[in-house]
Amino acid sequence: MQLGLVGKPSSGKTTFFNAATEQSAKTAPYPFTTIEPNVGVTWVRAKCPHVEIGKECNPKHGFCMAGERFIPVEIIDVAGLVPGAHEGRGLGNKFLDDLRQAHVLIHVVDASGSSDAEGNALKPGERDPAEDVEFLREEILAWIQGIVAKAWDKAKRIPNDKKDQTLVEHFTGLGITPDQAEDILNKLGYPEGKEREWAEALLQFKPIIIAANKVDVDPAPDNVKELQKKYKHVIPTSGIAEYTLRKAAKAGVVKYIPGDADFEIIGKLTPQQREGLEYIRERVLEPFGSTGVQQVINTAVFDVLSYKVVYPVEDENKWTDKKGNVLPDAFLLPPDATALDLAYAVHTDIGKKFIAAIDARTKKRVGKDHVLRNGDVIKIVAGR
Ligand SMILES: Nc1nc2c(ncn2[C@@H]2O[C@H](COP(=O)(O)OP(=O)(O)OP(=O)(O)O)[C@@H](O)[C@H]2O)c(=O)[nH]1
Ligand SMILES: [Mg+2]
């Protein structure tokens, strides 16, 4: 599972990335700060089943805080994209190839309207952020169209009996399944002269969600409302607020769980630090209910992709593995994943020797085709 950050220069992509991954890649108030991509691990947040059995969990990956489980997903931050990138403007659009494997694109928009299309500073409100949404979609389409053109160029030289397969397989590199590509092929026919339609069809499988960023700066709150009227999945964010809160939590001066609606000061602070945190509370948390960073990641994984978290255990009564670790694993699986898919995700051998699965809550035995639900705790019974 990989999420990709896109947007014009200076919209706050790397700040969002740093907040989400707790890294410290370079950020700056001028365009094209990022050139080489930043890759890191962030986490989706889910209620941890350990609260149901009253025992602390022992996660092998990710972590758990106050009954909230954080499950790792990859996130990648790339250079800024400007209008005309597909014609070579700015840094061009070649670097988008680093996002080929991303399941969802997170468009980080400067909702405060304080930078032009190239990311140069303006007075807040001078730029309409909806224009950024429009041009970015165009640039992403142009990029995909380029991939379609290349794919067809290759496939058209291939003998007829292998042509379709070659074409369809080319798009798996874009995270598109052969079935999805075949559907497009059946609907549209070969891409010759239809590269644009193909690109639009492919974009359906590469959804874009909008992080309406810099909500702490007026007139971002008004702009967010306008964006939400126009587009689906618009989430108000302040990357810098989330970054600050996570730093303060790491330093032990505040109690804050990523995604929470508030924080609590527990350490010694200078008056300036206190003021900074109060600013975040007043400008971000109170009006919007959170900094939005965690909400963007959860929306991408659970709402847009409809993935689910499933917890495999060895002991369906104690919810442990062989060594007694409580709920050690949490797997993110696609919407249609079955008990057998979970078995394969645990280990190929377990998948091959699958006998049955047991729902650890109801103790009911289910077969390989049983479709799992979000939050399921499952024991896999496998042969030797
Ligand atoms: N007020 C405010 N400023 C922010 C926020 N997020 C980022 N910034 C500022 O915006 C500027 C640009 O941030 P970056 O994270 O470097 O932006 P970027 O999109 O990665 O930029 P490029 O790498 O140049 O494409 C920096 O000065 C950040 O501090 C936010 O939520 N609120
Ligand atoms: Mg950057």
Residues of the chain under the 50 pLDDT cut = none
Nearest CA to ligand 1 atom 14: 12
pLDDT for the residue numbered 384: 85
Domain boundaries, the chain: 2-37+78-228, 308-382
Cβ 115 under 6 angstroms from ligand 1? no
Task: Using the atom order of ligand 1, give the atom closest to the CA of residue 29.
Answer: 27
- With respect to CATH, is domain 308-382 assigned 3.40.50.2300? no
pLDDT for the residue numbered 175: 86
Cβ 312 under 6 angstroms from ligand 1? no
**∠ at Cα 121 (221, 84), nearest 5°?**
95
Pocket test for ligand 1, best of 10, 13, 247, 284 (most atoms within 8 A of CB): 10
pLDDT for the residue numbered 271: 96
pLDDT for the residue numbered 377: 98
**Model's pTM, two decimal places?**
0.97
Cβ 283 under 6 angstroms from ligand 1? no
